[in-house]
Structures are given as C-alpha cells and as structure tokens.
C-alpha cells in the first residue's frame, strides 16, 4: 500500500526548498524592499515571490485543492515596478536539479500568471476538504533584521493537519547545535552549515535534513528531548513583544524554577527547534484580547512537534483547531513542550494567566 500523503510531502518539501532559495537571494542581494500592509506589518518581495512559487507547484499537482496563504497581489497589480521586480526574481529562481524542477511543474509563464497564482491563496479555509496553509516568510521582521525566519507549508484534510514542512534557512544544520536565535552574523555563508528542512506526515514521525538547492538531501528522524529536570529546561518565545507576553512567560519560567533566560527567536523555527530537541518549551502568550493567530503561522509547526513526541495546545490546554477558517479563532496562545511535561507547563501557564479551574 502506498504511504499516505507521500506525493503531497515530496511536492511540499521541494516547493519549500525552492521558495527558500528565492528568499535567500532576496536577503543576499539586499533587495529586501518592503511594503507595509493594512495591518502595518511588513511584507517583502521575498514574501510575494515565495508564495507565487509554492502555489505554482501546488496548482500543478493538486489543482482542485484550496489554498490559504498570507499574502495577496492587490498591491502588486497597482505597482508595476514592484511587480516587475518580483517577477524577475520568480522567473529566475529554480532548483539546481532539473528533475526536481520539472517535478514542480516548470516555469510560470508571465507576470500576470504570477499575480493570479499569488491570489489563489484566498480560500477562507474551514472544516471540509483539502486545504493548504502557506506562510511564505514567517517572521518577516526576523528576515529583515537578519535573524530567524521560516518558509511554512501545511496540508489540512477536513481540518486536520496531515503534512507539515518548514524551511529554516538560518537555523544550524546540526540538530545538536545549541539553541540560539542569532545566526552568527549575516555574513556567514551557507557552507558554514545553516539551512534546515523540517517535515512530518501525520502518524509517520518527523524529520530534519539540510535545506538544499536541488534534490532533497538525506533526512534524519528527529524527536523532542526528554526533560528530566524541568528547572534546566530551555524555553523559547517570540522576539516581538507585541506577539507574545514576555513578562508573563518570565513568571511562568519562575514558577517552573527555570533559571535560563528565554531564547527569543523569530518564526516557526521555534517549532522546528523544539522538534529536534534544541529547545524544550515554546510559549506564545496572548498580548491582546482580540488578536486571532493565523493558521499559516502554526499548521506545519504544530504537526512537526507532535510527530516528534511533543504536545501543542493553546493556553487553555485545547489542541489547535485549524478547521474554523483562516485563523485559530477557537484558540488563545500556544504552549508546546515534550508530551511528558506538557501538563506541568500548562498548569503553570494557567496559574499565571489566571485560567486555573
């Protein structure tokens, strides 16, 4: 019997790898022109270009699947120079391996087709059918400051995440590398061992492999690190204080007798770091009563951590619910940890947040 979701996994891995290659070009070519969006968050030509390349591959293989993606092309339709800059980037970014590039469906015909592909990410999501969630650059702020960022792709079927892939160009390849948010200076060349592709299929475990520029590299199974002494745990959280309540996380750490300072890392790279045992706990504590987390910020990481032996819930202890639309409207915050200690962490979270039953 064929392995479930084998083709979806291969398409996702190669599409993320190609999109990550585009984002690295943008970073190294210092072409990080940003435009700001209605929500005043930054978006770069890398975000738009990566989304176009990922959607092109998904449309080639799975034309009837729905897609929920972070970015839209409206601004580009009104800004020809910006559109042309992104089109030049998309047109010239390929995987080094001809077979892998052909497998993704070949070149996008022209700039208008690129805009239409970007706008294919407008699905409202929901509880029925096959729906892909794309964050072309998660941690755009991190990307702009030369920190961590991730190219994120997940597949939900009837609201349940089945496939998750994270491309983390600035994380160390070495799964045993200590957890650190910085990348040792943006001047570091790729050869110095950065770039990881995390992936998971529901029920099949989680893996990491070097992020390549052509065919997929050899994978290794990964798992969360067993925590025997909670006080020696490492916890990570957002860099942006607007994205997670950092004073509450400090109180939670204190309650757990954790003495190490938090590692503040951008993007879903935090999920990948937990899944391979580099970090132990990920806390994302709401900073507003109204903000709803986007499904594209969590779908891939949620599955990868759970397939690596972790547990991921919101601050009330409920699993993340990807079936209610473009946001995690039923959830507040995120708490991720090895399954064996998740209960202890949640207890401390609920005491600090005043959620204890």
Asked if 234 is an active-site residue, the reply is no
Structure token digits, residue 11: 């398409």
Residue written as tokens 């998904």?
A: 58
Q: How far is the CB of 244 from ligand PPS (least distance, A)?
A: 6
- Contact assessment for residue 133 and residue 296, using Cβ atoms and an 8 Å cutoff: yes
Q: How far is the CB of 103 from Mg ion (least distance, A)?
A: 25
Q: Which of 44, 140, 207, 315 is catalytic?
A: 140
- Contact partner at residue 249 from ligand PPS, Mg ion, none, CB < 5 to 8 Å by partner kind: none
Q: Is 169 helix (H, G, I), strand (E, B) or coil?
A: strand
Q: If you count them, how many residues does the chain have?
A: 357
Q: How far is the CB of 161 from ligand PPS (least distance, A)?
A: 18
Q: Which stretch binds ligand PPS (CB under 6 A): 99-107, 136-144, 155-163, 224-232?
A: 136-144
Q: Which residues of 235-268 are buried (b: 16+ CB within 10 A; e: fewer)?
A: bbbbbeeebbbbebbbbbbeebebeeebbbbbbb
Q: How far is the CB of 138 from ligand PPS (least distance, A)?
A: 4
Q: What is the DSSP string of 197-219?
A: EEEEETTS-EEEEE--SSSPPPP
Among residues 46, 49, 139, 272, which is the contact residue for ligand PPS, using CB under 6 A?
139
- Contact assessment for residue 82 and residue 126, using Cβ atoms and an 8 Å cutoff: no
- State how far the Cα of 319 lies from the Cα of 317, in Å rounded to an integer: 7
Q: How far is the CB of 260 from Mg ion (least distance, A)?
A: 26
Nearer to Mg ion, 36 or 259 (CB): 36
Residues 6+ apart with CB under 8 A from 274: 224, 236, 280, 281, 282, 305, 308, 310, 336, 337
Nearer to ligand PPS, 249 or 267 (CB): 267
* Residue 106 binds to ligand PPS (criterion: CB under 6 A): no
Is 190 labeled as ligand-binding? Answer: no
Asked if 140 is an active-site residue, the reply is yes
Site for ligand PPS in 43-102 (CB under 6 A): 70
Q: Is 303 helix (H, G, I), strand (E, B) or coil?
A: helix
- Contact assessment for residue 197 and residue 167, using Cβ atoms and an 8 Å cutoff: yes
Per-residue contact flags (x/-) with ligand PPS for residues 34 to 53, judged by CB under 6 A: -------x------------
* Residue 262 binds to ligand PPS (criterion: CB under 6 A): no
Point out the annotated binding site for Mg(2+).
70, 135, 137-138, 297
Catalytic residues: 47, 140
Binding stretches for ligand PPS (CB under 6 A): 41, 70, 135, 137-142, 238-240, 242-243, 266-267, 287-288, 291, 294, 297
Per the annotation, where are the binding residues? 70, 135, 137-138, 297
């Amino acid at each position: 019997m064929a392995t479930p979701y084998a083709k979806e996994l291969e398409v996702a891995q190669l599409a993320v790898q190609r999109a990550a290659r585009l984002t690295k070009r943008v970073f190294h070519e210092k072409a990080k022109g940003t435009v700001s969006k209605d929500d005043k968050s930054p978006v770069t030509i890398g975000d738009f270009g990566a989304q176009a390349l990922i959607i092109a591959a998904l449309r080639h293989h799975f034309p009837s699947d729905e897609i929920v993606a972070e970015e839209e092309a409206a601004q580009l339709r009104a800004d020809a120079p910006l559109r042309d800059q992104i089109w030049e980037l998309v047109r010239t970014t390929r995987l080094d391996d001809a077979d892998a590039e052909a497998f993704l469906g070949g070149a996008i015909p022209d700039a208008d087709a690129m805009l239409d592909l970007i706008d294919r990410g407008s699905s409202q999501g929901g509880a029925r059918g096959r729906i892909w969630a794309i964050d072309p650059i998660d941690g755009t702020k991190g990307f702009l400051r030369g920190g961590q960022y991730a190219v994120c792709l997940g597949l939900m079927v009837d609201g349940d995440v089945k496939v998750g892939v994270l491309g983390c160009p600035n994380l160390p390849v070495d799964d045993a590398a200590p957890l650190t948010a910085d990348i040792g200076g943006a001047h570091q060349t790729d050869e110095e061992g950065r770039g990881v592709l995390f992936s998971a299929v529901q029920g099949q475990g989680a893996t990491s492999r070097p992020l390549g520029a052509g065919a997929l590299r050899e994978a290794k199974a990964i798992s969360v690190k067993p925590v025997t002494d909670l006080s020696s745990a490492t916890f990570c959280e957002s860099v942006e204080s607007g994205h997670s309540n950092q004073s509450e996380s400090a109180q939670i750490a204190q309650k757990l007798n954790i003495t190490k300072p938090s590692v503040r890392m951008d993007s879903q790279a935090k999920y990948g770091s937990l899944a391979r045992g580099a970090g132990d706990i990920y806390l994302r504590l709401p900073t507003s009563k109204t903000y709803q987390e986007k499904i594209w910020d969590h779908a891939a990481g949620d599955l990868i951590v759970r397939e690596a032996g972790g547990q991921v819930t919101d601050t009330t202890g409920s699993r993340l619910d990807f079936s209610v639309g473009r946001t995690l409207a039923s959830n507040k915050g995120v708490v991720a940890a090895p399954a064996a200690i998740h209960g202890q962490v949640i207890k401390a979270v609920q005491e600090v947040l005043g959620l204890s039953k």
